[in-house]
Structure 1
Amino acid sequence: MTSLDDLPLRDDLRGREPYGAPQLDVPYALNTNENPYPPSERLVKALGEAVMDVAGTLNRYPDRDAVALREDLAAFLNADTPGVGLTAARVWAANGSNEILQQILLAFGGPGRTALGFEPSYSMHPIITEVSGTRWIAARRDEDFGIDPARAVAAVAEHRPDIVFLTSPNNPTGTALPLETIEAVAGAAPGMVVVDEAYGEFRRAETPSALTLLDGHPRLIVTRTMSKAFAMAGTRLGYLAADPAVLDALLLVRLPYHLSAVTQAVARTALAHREELLGGVNALRRERDGLVAWLRGAGFEVADSDANFVLFGTFPDRRRVWENLLERGVLIREVGPPEWLRVTIGTPEEMAAFRTGLRQSRGGTAPHTPRPDSVGDIKESQ
């Protein structure tokens, strides 16, 4: 049979591994940062009716620019972050935030161009960057997983990247960035600055959104998703807010009719029921903060988190801990610096199972002080 080696694949793609977290059938799946609360029967009915409403028109192409959906998204962002005054002309949508990132790189990256990110961070940033033909430059986060503004500005000045990626809250650490850091980078960057806020709705009350910086920064882009807080991972809907000129650029690279009529209908229905869907966010925040306190009380190191997951450690053999938990039906993520693990915040039942499993699997795997060079040493995707 023909193998991949027999095909005329691009040389820069040879040897790569496809992205993906383990998909295993376990009682407690806490590895992909999904929202654990499914839609109610009332919302399921509303979603079904929305799909039925468009089903009779599926012989026609959808609204190419998803104008009504973008209006709804702008209204949500205005409510989420009062004062930003967004309109559909400043909001764009695509199939998940990863397609948003791909469109940004197609428009502003490419051969001969570079993108800079601060690791450990979302592993799809370098993957999409390099697949688009853009060169990836990895800078390091600080030991506490933050980003010192002066060091960030120095990295931008040294490399002069065409795109800078800032992730806040950061995946896999949960770390949020102060607005001062984002402003410093935006002021120094010669190209585009992308603030990935996929977990923005989970941020703590005192943590601001980069949406507040859009006015006055025409090269700033803030990306969001409906996969996490909205519990709509299966819908595949990501979006961004930016200057209208950014949308003009993305129109040059987007695929025709890239958002199906079904996707648009489901996403609009979810936005109309956002009070229900976002109702679990506060509960997840409380579970997260309680878990952070519990882990620290048990002697683990824990990164401060503004997301719906927690990075904790450190372990001389994290694979052993991961496998021990898996044997007990609890699947978490082996990701980030090599001595750390990440757990998604789930329901109270799921978190109780995680705590019990961690206590039972801890024998011989006591946390210890990490090596000085462990921060930023990324070996696995997230």
Structure 2
Amino acid sequence: MNLDDLPIRDDLRGKSPYGAPQIDVPVRLNTNENPHPPSAELVADLAEAVGRVSGELNRYPDRDAVELRAALADYLGHGLTTAQVWAANGSNEIIQQILQAFGGHGRSALGFEPSYSMHPIITTGTSTEWIHAAREEDFSLDPGKVVAAIGEHRPDVVFVASPNNPTGTAQPLETIEAILDAAPGMVVVDEAYAEFAREGTPSALTLLPSHPRLIVTRTMSKAFAMAGTRLGYLAAHPAVVEALLLVRLPYHLSTLTQTAALVALRHRAELLGTVDALRRERDATVDWLRSKGLAVADSDANFVLFGRFPDRRAVWEGLLARGVLIREVGPPEWLRVSIGTGEEMAAFRAAMEGVL
């Protein structure tokens, strides 16, 4: 028996699961992780905290993660309260809960591609129709075209990633506001890479007081260098959080996850202390790639999309053969490299020299 023999839903047939290649090579620059591991001090603090709660693992965790949500609200600022913040197992579960509450059979979600590939995957998984609209040649959004697409399709949920994955493109608040004014339902601004944005780039968090149907999602997997913790969160109107309580699984966020996230927030000065260095590496990578005559998308994230290659698979394989793994993702003829340490980026440049 194989998958085709099972009575799965018709809208799942022919689909492929999400997944970046997991290959053991010296330099892995394909999943947009922060390359800097936690310090010995943080590890010791985490071990002590986990040890402290381990004697209570026979009990369920705090169902509503109140302490963690309060700490996340404090980190985000903007006058946010615990009631306006929600947390789950990675921003993907946050997205799933949003679609369970506001999507579903007979409803639709719209996004602007190329963008985060999990948006349509989770949309389909929740029996929500996925509608894609196109970005401009430079991967920006034209407010007039965006408003027209929303007016045509009247989606129940609109996704906007800013900075966008895989292009790195951040959206001006004016564009976000145009979307909010036009959308009949919920608007989700995915800010997974917000901490990497260039100085002066505003967050959609500033729009929350005047837009009750806005949801801003974040993660601790990127700038916080805690991808293994699997902690995503959102900020929204308290009524939105109440809606998500209707669909969340009971005790969905383990005691260990909540504990690790709280430790990370206490150490945020250390963890976010690598952001400036990664920004510099990103900007230097953009300049270097352009000096080689390649097209490069402006990036406000911790990765760079570059091209254009008639046979991008050959370039990807050439880098892999030299011990460097990047991502074959996004529009045809383009590749994406995550920003690593200085040594890793030097290895990437050397491998690219060989491939070019």
- Relative to the length of structure 2, the TM-score reads 0.99
**SS in structure 2 opposite 1:214?**
helix
Q: Cα distance, 1:6 vs. partner?
A: 3.0
Give the alignment of 1:274-353 within 5 angstroms: 274-353=268-347
Q: Cα distance, 1:28 vs. partner?
A: 0.2
Take 2:268 and 2:244, find their aligned partners in 1: how far apart are those partners?
Answer: 27
Is 1:133 the counterpart of 2:133? The answer is no
Q: Cα distance, 1:59 vs. partner?
A: 0.5
**SS in structure 1 opposite 2:105?**
coil
Take 1:31 and 1:107, find their aligned partners in 2: how far apart are those partners?
Answer: 32
Q: Cα distance, 1:221 vs. partner?
A: 0.2
Take 1:133 and 1:223, find their aligned partners in 2: how far apart are those partners?
Answer: 21
Take 1:265 and 1:137, find their aligned partners in 2: how far apart are those partners?
Answer: 38
Take 1:90 and 1:77, find their aligned partners in 2: how far apart are those partners?
Answer: 11
The match for 1:71 is: 70
The match for 1:203 is: 197
Identify the match of residue 156 of structure 2 among 140, 158, 162: 162
What stretches of structure 2 of length at least 5 have no aligned partner?
A: none
| CA deviation vs aligned residue, 1:148-199 (integer Å, no higher than 9, x gap) | 1111111111110000000000000000000000000001100000000000
**SS in structure 1 opposite 2:225?**
coil
Q: Cα distance, 1:50 vs. partner?
A: 1.1
Give the alignment of 1:68-107 within 5 angstroms: 68-78=67-77, 84-107=78-101
Identify the match of residue 216 of structure 1 among 197, 210, 214: 210
Residue identity over aligned pairs, in percent, reads 74
The match for 2:20 is: 21
Take 1:213 and 1:204, find their aligned partners in 2: how far apart are those partners?
Answer: 19
Deviates more, 1:168-177 or 1:3-12: 3-12
Identify the match of residue 188 of structure 2 among 187, 194, 205: 194
2:151 maps to amino acid? A
Take 1:273 and 1:191, find their aligned partners in 2: how far apart are those partners?
Answer: 37
Take 2:15 and 2:120, find their aligned partners in 1: how far apart are those partners?
Answer: 12
**SS in structure 1 opposite 2:209?**
coil
The match for 2:140 is: 146
2:3 maps to amino acid? L
Is 1:58 the counterpart of 2:57? The answer is yes
Take 2:4 and 2:55, find their aligned partners in 1: how far apart are those partners?
Answer: 45
Q: Cα distance, 1:203 vs. partner?
A: 0.3
Give the alignment of 1:191-270 within 5 angstroms: 191-270=185-264
Q: Cα distance, 1:13 vs. partner?
A: 1.4
The match for 1:45 is: 44
Q: Cα distance, 1:47 vs. partner?
A: 0.8
2:58 maps to amino acid? N
2:203 maps to amino acid? S
Is 1:361 the counterpart of 2:355? The answer is yes
RMSD over aligned CA atoms reads 0.6
**SS in structure 1 opposite 2:327?**
coil
Q: Cα distance, 1:16 vs. partner?
A: 1.4
Is 1:111 the counterpart of 2:105? The answer is yes
**SS in structure 2 opposite 1:137?**
strand
**SS in structure 2 opposite 1:215?**
helix
Take 1:189 and 1:337, find their aligned partners in 2: how far apart are those partners?
Answer: 26
Take 2:292 and 2:71, find their aligned partners in 1: how far apart are those partners?
Answer: 44
Identify the match of residue 267 of structure 2 among 261, 265, 273: 273
**SS in structure 2 opposite 1:176?**
coil
Identify the match of residue 122 of structure 1 among 108, 111, 116: 116
1:350 maps to amino acid? E
Take 1:14 and 1:193, find their aligned partners in 2: how far apart are those partners?
Answer: 29
What stretches of structure 1 of length at least 5 have no aligned partner?
A: 79-83, 363-382
Q: Cα distance, 1:3 vs. partner?
A: 2.3
The match for 1:366 is: none
1:165 maps to amino acid? F
Q: Cα distance, 1:297 vs. partner?
A: 1.2
**SS in structure 1 opposite 2:132?**
strand
1:37 maps to amino acid? H
1:99 maps to amino acid? E
Q: Cα distance, 1:23 vs. partner?
A: 0.2
Take 1:228 and 1:40, find their aligned partners in 2: how far apart are those partners?
Answer: 16
- Relative to the length of structure 1, the TM-score reads 0.93
